[in-house]
Chain A
């Protein structure tokens, strides 16, 4: 499949380890944040979202942490599997901006068997 991004930062982890993917967002007024996973040649897939009044939200094998003080978002993936290999994007949005999202550049996660 085609490459989503040729010059993306890359995180390489061993299968079974935990992964932490970071994102620095730009607007301190953003109300909500979303993580997407994109496999090569496919559309982004929703993983998890969080509102600005939360610090943490958990899903199945994933946790999103929000630090508004330093405008930092992270995605933690527990027991990383080969199927987790993909590019991960964060997105931020404002409630008064009509559901508009601003996307980060993405991080490529590579899982070594």
Chain B
């Protein structure tokens, strides 16, 4: 089955701790994205990567870091500098394009909910 997986489903962070959220895709997509979702708000872009070994800051990158060492993987680290990390985190990837679906369409994983202890 092709798709995007995120783990864990729930993650708890202690004060001052860094935590890493996993995102893996086997769709052979070049581009991957991380979003944060808070209640009552739309998705906000944290980081994105158009190609392996390259990534760019999104609108709310402060307190987060990423890496893109493999095409399939785009882990997100929530650092202790992120003072309000409680949110639903979504990873997405972009298709290379087919007749029926435009290449700009992003496909999402199931999400990770991060909670602070």
Give the interface of A toward B (CB within 8 A). 2-8, 31-32, 34, 36, 41-46, 49, 51, 89, 91, 93, 95, 98-101, 103-106
Contact = CB atoms under 8 A, between A and B. Distances in A.
B47 to A, nearest CB: 12
Interface in B75-107: 88, 90, 94, 101-107
Interface in B49-96: 50, 88, 90, 94
A19 B103 CA distance: 28
B40 interface: yes
Contact of A46 (B37, B103, B105): B105
Question: Which range contains the number of B residues in contact with the other chain?
Answer: 20 to 34
Interface of B: 4, 6, 31, 37, 39-43, 45, 48, 50, 88, 90, 94, 101-111, 113
A42 B110 contact: yes
A101 B108 CA distance: 13
Contacts of B37: 4
Contact of B42 (A41, A43, A103): A103
